[in-house]
Amino acid sequence: MSTGELLNGEQVIDVKGLTKKFGSLVAVNNLNLNVFKGDVFGFLGPNGAGKSTTIRMLLSLIRPTSGTIKIFGKSLKENQKDILRRIGAIVEKPDFYLYLSAYKNLEILGRISGADTSNKKIMEMLELVGLAGRAKSKVKTFSHGMKQRLGIAQALIHDPELVILDEPTMGLDPQGMKEVRDIILYLSKVKGKTIFLSSHILREVELIASRMIIINKGTARVEGNVEDLLNSNQLRVTFEVDDIMKAFNLISLTTWKQNFISKEKNQLVFEMLKKDIPALNRHLIENGVNVSSVVPVRSLEDYFLKITMGDS
Amino acid sequence: MILTLVSIELSKIFKKWRTYIGFIAIGVLTPIVQLALYLTGQRYIDHLMRGLQDTFVFSGNLFNGYLVAYVILQSLFIHIPFLIVLVGGDLLAGEATAGTYRVLVTRPVSRFQIITAKFLAGIIYTVSLLIWLIILSLIVSLLIFGSGELITFRGKLIIFASNDVLWRFLCAYGFAVISMTTVMALSFFFSSMVENAIGPIVASMAVIIIFLILSAIPVDILQTVKPYLFTTHMVLWDGFFNDPIDWKDVLSSAIVLIGHITGLYLLSTYIFLRKDILS
């Protein structure tokens, strides 16, 4: 049972069998999604996995080839306007009317959304994303990071219940990424919004999300609670040693050989629990093998790295 | 909501530099024609009435604001479509190029409302450009050159009494609104199909040029095609300066053009409603 289900059980996004084909290319294949109220839901996958296509279908930008989308318990197809009124979104890179100011962009998009577009409200939004000082500047003078923050402001101008963010930290420097993450956490924890966060960076999802799904080639691969997925599995641990043959012979004589995966150059790779790392390290050192580094990689991370590199 | 959307579309149109190209072009060309006629206008009248001045005595102000406005309208009418498509071709494709379809279509408004608002804004832009033309060509010319009879030549010399001219101009400008809206609708239609504004602008210009060329070639088979080209009907504004006016001709052309406008709008709407926004 998910965090969201445990908290209150109200399903915000319910996607069943979602498929999108572009000619012979299957961009999204029979995808199911369940996002619950209050979730920060990580939608993870490498570039080209089908994340943006899925998000575009959730926002009625493109039509599914098959499958159903229910948001707030209603069919998106039949209740598009009602549903979109309750959603704020950034889809891929944030684009605006470059010849208009940040203020005017927010005013226009707010008016279309039926939002309060008083000066107070718009400035409040710009303040939230740290752009109040540039309210009257034309967006064409903005850096990518500033546009990204303005993107968040436009997504929030009508006070939506569900915020869909597609790669909101893409192209940002580490400081910018942290700022965006802080805003997302503020929206979730302080404002109680449900967040659907798409990313190709596992670390980002780990820092923010409560639940997640990994998709690749349009298909769901792993789904569940972030903490459970990242910590319940065994780690893949690489020991770098000075004498690979001596170390290899040493573990061959012990029960550690059950954990052994591979050896390469001066590295031995094991699959093991985190708590067992010190014992193996000690065993090697006490038997005269110098260990210069121990690098643990969580299996999910390892799996994600593999699919990111195209080896699924 | 539709009024809100139209006002937003208009504010976007009039915040763009390209919108003013049409206004600037008319603002530059009209005074040039006025100045040229101011300097050589009498020669123009003499040329128009060569052979007649020996037989008839002409009195009054024949070289007046009405004549200047008529000459300007004839000179510029064929070129104004190229100014209209600069904005019409950008109305939808411009959003795709800028990537702003995404922020627009994900708002709680229907695509039908969006495209209708854009189309109406396009018509308002077209009308405003023609109002600008009326101000510069008719009102300013009347202020500079004064009022009087309008003399035109179309196989035969026609002179309209000064109190019989203004309504003809108003009807001609009204017809021009229909003609130019057809051009706007054509560029809007092309704009709904692509993701870059250059394509619809060039395509609309190409269609207009090709149709005009086809109309102008005096070959029988091409002349049979002529009634089916919208460009043939666009120039019927001039019909109001006939005596008598061929109302049947003028009305049927207006209906053909309105049919084009409606058809192009419906086609654009159909395309836009079914469009996958991938930009």
Residue A4 pLDDT more than 50? no
Banded model confidence at residue A224, pLDDT cuts 50, 70, 90: confident
Q: How far is CA B66 from CA B63, B72, B141, B156, B164, in A?
A: 8, 10, 7, 18, 11
The mean pLDDT of B56-78, rounded to a whole number, is 80
pLDDT digits (tens, 9 = 90+) for B236-258: 898 899 888 899 999 999 999 99
| Nearest-CB residue to B106 (from A89, A97, A108) | A89
Banded model confidence at residue B78, pLDDT cuts 50, 70, 90: confident
Asked whether the beta carbons of residue A89 and residue B100 sit closer than 8 angstroms, the reply is no
| Nearest-CB residue to B277 (from A56, A96, A109) | A56
Residue A6 pLDDT more than 70? no
Q: What is the pLDDT of residue B56?
A: 65
Q: Residue B15: its chain A contacts at CB < 8 A?
A: 97, 99-100, 104
Residue B6 pLDDT more than 90? yes
Asked whether the beta carbons of residue A85 and residue B100 sit closer than 8 angstroms, the reply is no
Residue B244: CB partners within 8 Å, gap ≥ 6? Answer: none
Q: What is the pLDDT of residue A145?
A: 87
How many angstroms away from the CA of A283 is the closest CA of chain B? Answer: 57
Range of weakest confidence among A225-234, B62-71, B130-139 = A225-234
The mean pLDDT of B184-209, rounded to a whole number, is 94
Asked whether the beta carbons of residue A91 and residue B104 sit closer than 8 angstroms, the reply is no
Asked whether the beta carbons of residue A92 and residue B102 sit closer than 8 angstroms, the reply is yes
Residue of A108, A139, A147, A167 to mutate when probing chain B, most B C-beta within 10 A:
A108
Residue of B9, B103, B116, B275 to mutate when probing chain A, most A C-beta within 10 A:
B103
DSSP annotation string for A8-66: T--EEEEEEEEEEEETTEEEEEEEEEEEETT-EEEEE--TTSSHHHHHHHHTTSS--SE
Q: What is the pLDDT of residue B49?
A: 66
Range of weakest confidence among A136-140, A141-145, A202-206, B181-185 = A202-206
Banded model confidence at residue A20, pLDDT cuts 50, 70, 90: very high
Whether residue B245 contacts residue B167, with contact meaning beta carbons closer than 8 Å, is answered with: no
Residue A304 pLDDT more than 60? yes
Residue B50 pLDDT more than 80? no
Q: How far is CA A24 from the centre of its chain?
A: 28
Q: What is the pLDDT of residue A21?
A: 94
Q: What is the pLDDT of residue B111?
A: 94
**Length of chain B in residues, anyone?**
279
Q: What is the pLDDT of residue A7?
A: 46
Q: What is the pLDDT of residue A5?
A: 45
Residue B153 pLDDT more than 90? no
Neighbours of A234 (CB within 10 A): 15
Angle of helix B19-48 relative to helix B111-133, nearest 10 degrees, comes to: 40
Q: Residue B110: its chain A contacts at CB < 8 A?
A: 80-81
DSSP class of residue A290 equals P
Q: What is the pLDDT of residue B48?
A: 67
Closest alpha carbon to B178 in B234, B100, B217: B234
Asked whether the beta carbons of residue A112 and residue B98 sit closer than 8 angstroms, the reply is no
Banded model confidence at residue B43, pLDDT cuts 50, 70, 90: confident
How many CB pairs below 8 A link A and B?
72
How many angstroms away from the CA of B14 is the closest CA of chain A? Answer: 11
Asked whether the beta carbons of residue B15 and residue A100 sit closer than 8 angstroms, the reply is yes
Range of weakest confidence among A219-228, A237-246, B192-201 = A219-228
Asked whether the beta carbons of residue A95 and residue B15 sit closer than 8 angstroms, the reply is no
| Nearest-CB residue to A97 (from B4, B100, B106) | B100
**pLDDT: which is higher, B103 or B262:** B262
Residue A206 pLDDT more than 60? yes
The mean pLDDT of B128-146, rounded to a whole number, is 93
Model-level pTM?
0.84
The mean pLDDT value of chain B amounts to 89
Q: Chain A residues within 8 A (CB-CB) of chain B?
A: 56, 59-63, 80-82, 84-85, 87, 89, 91-93, 95-100, 104, 108-109, 111-114, 154, 158
The mean pLDDT of A169-195, rounded to a whole number, is 88
Query: If you average pLDDT over each of A172-176, B21-25, B40-44, B212-216, which comes out highest?
Result: B21-25
Residue A217 pLDDT more than 90? no
Residue A169: CB partners within 8 Å, gap ≥ 6? Answer: A148, A176, A177, A180, A181, A199, A201, A204
In a 3-state reduction of DSSP, which class is residue A142?
coil
Banded model confidence at residue B57, pLDDT cuts 50, 70, 90: low
Whether residue A102 contacts residue A142, with contact meaning beta carbons closer than 8 Å, is answered with: yes
Residue A121 and residue B71: Cα distance in Å, rounded? 54
Banded model confidence at residue A200, pLDDT cuts 50, 70, 90: confident
Residue A233 pLDDT more than 70? no
Closest alpha carbon to A33 in A209, A224, A192, A266: A224
Whether residue A196 contacts residue A164, with contact meaning beta carbons closer than 8 Å, is answered with: yes
Domains for chain A: give ranges and CATH numbers.
Answer: 3-231 (3.40.50.300), 235-308 (3.30.70.100)
Angle of helix B19-48 relative to helix B80-88, nearest 10 degrees, comes to: 170
pLDDT digits (tens, 9 = 90+) for A50-105: 999 999 999 999 999 999 999 999 999 999 999 999 999 999 888 999 999 999 99
How many angstroms away from the CA of A112 is the closest CA of chain B? Answer: 7
**pLDDT: which is higher, B227 or B116:** B116
pLDDT above 90: percentage of residues in chain B = 58
Asked whether the beta carbons of residue B12 and residue A60 sit closer than 8 angstroms, the reply is no
The ipTM value here is: 0.77
DSSP class of residue B136 equals I
Banded model confidence at residue B226, pLDDT cuts 50, 70, 90: confident
